Structures are given as structure tokens and as C-alpha cells.
Structure 1
Amino acid sequence: MSIKPTRLNKGDTVAVIAPASPPNKENLKRGLKFVEDLGLNYKLGKSLYSEYGYLAGDDEARLSDLNEMFLDDEIKAIICAGGGYGTARIASALDYNAIKNNPKIFWGYSDITFLHTAIRQQTGLITFHGPMLASDIGKEGANQVSKDTFQQLFVPVELNYDSSISQIEELVPGSAEGPLVGGNLSLLSSSMGTPFEIDTKGKILLIEDINEEPRAVDRMLNQLYMAGKLQQSAGIIIGDFNNCVPERELSLSLEEVIDHYIQLAGRPALKGFNMGHCSPHIGVPLGATASMDTKEKTLYVESGIN
């Protein structure tokens, strides 16, 4: 059974953490100003500015930040500064009982996908796949639509995504309903064979990625297909695949690769959603009930908050 976190109110305090890689400091500074502009206070994770190779501090430090922020009664939401690498390293040590007993908004995407999947499947908590403070919002010229997507944390609102937002294309006809799950394809494929393997049965699966050649997308989709994850889903939503272009002369195109596996899966499928490493980037609640209709080219997602 899904758990919806409580909505935010002006004056609330949110946590800003980096459970993966170190964020760009200048971008983060602008991102924190955005948090203030939302009428929120913030508390920074102790490891937010740490650097340990490609990680924002060692595993113990990043894990401690995440666990402590869920246990801190003052904190009403946890917003990730950025993605990168390393969240899977701390997934097995998270205090899932604490998370289940202290449900609150958790927001991020990209490498954060592993935590979205782990937290939802271990606790039932609805989490949010959306643009992050340093990676997206804090960039100069950040898209206002991406900023506006944070408003869903203050007022319960259903997402009605159609071709007025971006060009939607039908890949496999049909309609479907179920919880929305997924996120970054690389992280979904890396969950296979672990205690946090993505469960897609009866669910609408969202996939997106960045900087992966078609051959790599092929490998990951093939893994999900052979494991039954694509064909077990109720439907499939294709988000943004940013800069997923071949670096070699002999290559299938990204479109050919995606179409091959989507047709094999035979589940209702739509592509063209501004979800992922793109601008604008529309945030969505993972675990919330969703429905899709390829004839109408629409995706509806219920509010993820109480």
C-alpha cells in the first residue's frame, strides 16, 4: 500500500543533500536561493560539500545524511542537490523502518533512481522524480516550467500530460493503469539481481537516460526484456534520452533500438515526455496511480502528496 508524504507549507524546513556526487557549488548557490524563493528554509547535509573522488563524501557520510534527515522532525522534505554516481552503494544500509515511520517528500532523479526504487519497494513511500537544485534549477537560464513543477509539493494536483506540453508519439497502441515507477535506465538495469530489483508487474514504467550510445541502451533494454520487466509492465513511458547518439559509424539509431524492444514487449507505449535530463523537466510522483491512453496521447498521474 502506497504512503503519500505530507504537503509542504511556506516556512517549512527542507533538507538539501548529495547522496551521489558533489554538486556544482555555483549552481547549488542559485538552487538554494530558489528554495528560499519558494518560502522555505533549508538545512544542509553535513557531506553536501564533501569530495571523495566522484562521491560527495564516503558512503558512511552520505548514508548518515539521508538517515538523519528522515529522522529529523524539523525536516518536511529531502531534496537532492544533484545526481552522478554512488547512491546504490548506500541502499542496503538505509534505515527503511525509519523512513516508513517518518514518511516525507523525497525528490531527485538520475542516479537517485536507485533510491526511489529501493525506498518505494521497501516502504511504500511515494517519492518524486524531478529536477534537482544544482543539476537543473541552479543552472543559469533554468527553465521556468522546471521550477514550476515544485508547486506540486505544496498543493495536491493531478498531472495531465498531453501533446500541449511536448510532442507525444504512439509506439504501441492501447491504454493502461497502474503505479508509475522507473526513472533512469542505467540505474534500473543495475538493480537487476539485487534485493532492490525493479518491480514492474502491473505498473507503468518510465525510462530515461543521458550520454549512452544506442549500443548501451540496447544492452540495458535487452537485460530488462530478458528479465521480463518490459513485458510485465502495464505500459511504458519513454522520457528524454539526452545525447544518446552513436560514436561509431556502424550503429543502429536510438529510435531503432527503443522501437525494437518496445515492440517486443507489446505493452502500450508512448514517447516524447519531458522527463529526465532535459529542459524543461516535468517532475512526477513515483508510486502514484497513473493511467495512459495512446489514442489520446495522454498520461495522467494522481497527486503524490496528502
Structure 2
Amino acid sequence: MQMDRRAWMTGAGMAGMGAMLGAVPAPAMAAAGLTRPPRLRQGDTVGLIEPAGFTDDAFDLDLARETITAMGLNPTPARHLTARYGYLAGEDADRAADVNAMFADPEVRAVFAVRGGWGCARILPLLDFATIRKNPKLLVGFSDITALHLAFAAKAGFTTIHGPNASSSWGSYSWDAFRAVAFDGATPTFANPVGHEDRLVQRAGRIRTFGPGVTRGRLLGGNLTVLAALMGTPWLPDFSGAILFIEDVSEQPYRIDRMLTQLSLAGVLGKLAGVVFGQCTDCGPAGASFGGFTLSEVLQQHLEPLGIPAFQGGQFGHVANQYSLPLGVQAEMDATAGTIRLLEPAVA
């Protein structure tokens, strides 16, 4: 089934947000053992880290700081924020030290990754999870930050947010979604934005349903490449009964096939309650592909046989605007409608 026109969020009205955003009372069904970090408030101090790749233009770092300031927050840079070590933002020990310091600092209320890239997995053994666990605070970012999200889900036991990095564009679509989850403690329903193309039939914002129906489970996921690279390590949470959300960028269909096969052979896909595949930016085949599988065909081959609700096309990934998906919280997905509804707040 495909969806053509849909508001990006639905639900009961919330003061100041209009009809685009809904907040309903959260049910008394907190995920077992899940700790909620404190919600963000205007004037809070938040940390800026680069746990993976570096930003090569100081002007771009200034824009990231200004973006956080425009949220009403006070950004404080990590000690090694401007460091560089090859293609990484400083040596592993220094990047890990920045993460540890931000979670140990009582003045810092949340931690934003400036960007992704590659390198988060390299610092996982160097993180002080005893300290991190004692100081729950929101970690925000996507792409390579998936390694931190999944490790925190496995080792720290509190909510983190798969959402825009500090250097992302932060249009109203992304900002409203993040504010609802991180500031307001809302439980919105995420759905794709309404398409406004000059076409008889809209193409933007459509979904493909591989397994119809509604299911519930805790949200876990992020970038597929990063997740697959962590298979067989102690840094992955238990996916039993989870709703897996995944996305990627610049991966040909055969590579997506390879990674989903890895998840299948490892038993991950067979444990899930549902799957949402978001956006796969620049994921077409390189060159002529006559006789090859499309991305949707690869997904159909892996997801349809699972016999669980599953759909493609959720608005998250390497795109200008995206949902803010809190890892660890209970959610409900409707694979026929193409929606994800939070069943409990991500913050206290």
C-alpha cells in the first residue's frame, strides 16, 4: 500500500503547536528498566561533541553553535571539538574523553553531536558507562552517532534521540518534532509530510507496505551500516520484540541486501515486532543495472517473509527534515498507514 498525502504529525492538539502536532497523555506503561533523562528547558546548557568525523570549517561550527542558541539553549563546546586526527575529530582517547566529560558535568543537561561521519565505534571501549549511567541526559544525533545510541541502549539504560545533528539544517519540520519530544515530553504520532508536487499523483512522502497491520514495541535502530558493523559485539541491545527503524546513505541495493542478510543470519530480524525503513539517500545502483534488484525489491525480499508489520519510506535519515525518534521508548507503528506513535514520553 502507498500513502500519498499525510500530515507529518497527528494527534490531539497541543497549545502553541496547532493541528500539526499532537500530545496525548502517556500511558502508565514505561519500558522495563528505562530511565528518562530530564527534559530540556529554555536556558539549559548543552554540550557539543564530535565523536566521529571532524568539521573542517570553523564557520560551520559557528553555525552549529548559533543553531543551538536559536533553540534557547546555551551551547558549550567539548575540549577537543576542533581537534583533527586524520579523518577523525581527534584521537580516540580524546573523543571518548569529551563524551565522558559531558556526561560527568552536572551543568550540562544534554549532549548534541555536531556531525557524524565515522569513528564512534572506535571509542566505545573507552567510554565510562558507570558515570554515563549515573547521569542520564539526552544524546542527540544520527548517522554514525547510531553506534553511541545503540551502545547507550545496551549499557546505559536511558533514552537517546535519533534526530538531526547540531550542524543539520533544522527546518521547522525537524525543530517542531524535536521540541515536542525533548522539551515538551509529548507523545506525538509521526507521519510523512503532505506532498505538494505539481503532479496528478503525489510521489513525495509515499510509503510502501511490506507487512500490513499495527504492532507495538520499543524503538531501536539508526543507520543500517553502523548497526551491521556492531553485530557480534557487546554494544548492541536486545532486539526482542522491538520496532526496528533503519536508514542509510550512498549504499547500493546489493549492499543493503548484504547487511539485511547479516541481520537475518544473526537472528535479529526474527526477533522483531515491526520494521520501518526510512530514507536511503543516493542508494541507487551505480551504472547500468539491467536485471538487478531495486532497493524496494531487496526490502520486500527480506521484510515480507517476516510476517510482521513493515514499511518503507519513513521521514528519517540523511534528509533535510526528519522525525526525532527516541530509542528505548514504547511505540506503536501502523505499517498500513505509515505512522509511528509514541506511547510514552522520552523525557522526565
What TM-score results when the alignment is normalised by the length of structure 2?
Answer: 0.83
1:66 and 2:108 matched: no
**Segments ≥4 residues shifted beyond 4 Å:** none
1:155 and 2:181 matched: no
Of 170, 174, 187, the residue aligned with 1:146 is 174
SS across alignment from 1:39: coil
Of 252, 273, 276, the residue aligned with 1:237 is 276
| Contact kept in structure 2, 1:160 and 1:300, CA below 8 Å | yes
Q: Tell me the distance in 2 between the aligned counterparts of 1:105 and 1:158.
A: 16
1:57 and 2:62 matched: no
The residue identity in structure 2 corresponding to 1:271 is Q
Q: Tell me the distance in 2 between the aligned counterparts of 1:296 and 1:247.
A: 32
Structure 1 residue aligned with 2:8? none
The residue identity in structure 2 corresponding to 1:155 is D
Q: Deviations over 1:149-177 (max 9, x none)?
A: 33132111112023555333321112211
Q: What runs of 5+ residues in structure 2 fail to find an aligned partner?
A: 1-32, 195-204
SS across alignment from 1:3: coil
Task: Report the CA distance between 1:124 and its aligned residue.
Answer: 1.0
Task: Report the CA distance between 1:112 and its aligned residue.
Answer: 0.6
Sequence identity percentage: 38
| Contact kept in structure 1, 2:273 and 2:308, CA below 8 Å | yes
Q: Tell me the distance in 2 between the aligned counterparts of 1:248 and 1:193.
A: 33
What's the Cα RMSD here? 1.5
Task: Report the CA distance between 1:205 and its aligned residue.
Answer: 0.2
Q: Tell me the distance in 2 between the aligned counterparts of 1:88 and 1:78.
A: 17
Task: Tell which structure's C-alpha radius of gyration is larger.
Answer: 2
Q: What runs of 5+ residues in structure 1 fail to find an aligned partner?
A: none
The number of residues matched between the two structures is 301
Structure 1 residue aligned with 2:297? 256
Q: Tell me the distance in 2 between the aligned counterparts of 1:276 and 1:163.
A: 13
Q: Tell me the distance in 1 between the aligned counterparts of 2:237 and 2:255.
A: 19
Q: Tell me the distance in 1 between the aligned counterparts of 2:261 and 2:277.
A: 16
1:113 and 2:154 matched: no
| Contact kept in structure 2, 1:182 and 1:198, CA below 8 Å | no
Q: Deviations over 1:47-102 (max 9, x none)?
A: 21111111000001000000000000000000000000010001122111111111
The residue identity in structure 2 corresponding to 1:252 is F
Task: Report the CA distance between 1:295 and its aligned residue.
Answer: 3.5
The residue identity in structure 2 corresponding to 1:303 is P
| Contact kept in structure 2, 1:175 and 1:291, CA below 8 Å | yes
Q: Select the structure that is richer in helix.
A: 1
What are the equivalent positions in structure 2 for 1:1-306 lying under 5 Å apart? Answer: 1-25=33-57, 26-134=59-167, 136-137=168-169, 143-151=171-179, 152-164=181-193, 166-250=205-289, 251-301=292-342, 302-306=344-348
Task: Report the CA distance between 1:194 and its aligned residue.
Answer: 0.6
The residue identity in structure 2 corresponding to 1:206 is F
Task: Report the CA distance between 1:272 and its aligned residue.
Answer: 1.3
Q: Tell me the distance in 2 between the aligned counterparts of 1:9 and 1:197.
A: 31
Q: Deviations over 1:82-138 (max 9, x none)?
A: 00001000112211111111101110111010110001111211100001122x13x
1:27 to 1:266, Cα distance in 2 relative to 1, 3 A: farther
SS across alignment from 2:68: helix
Structure 1 residue aligned with 2:18? none
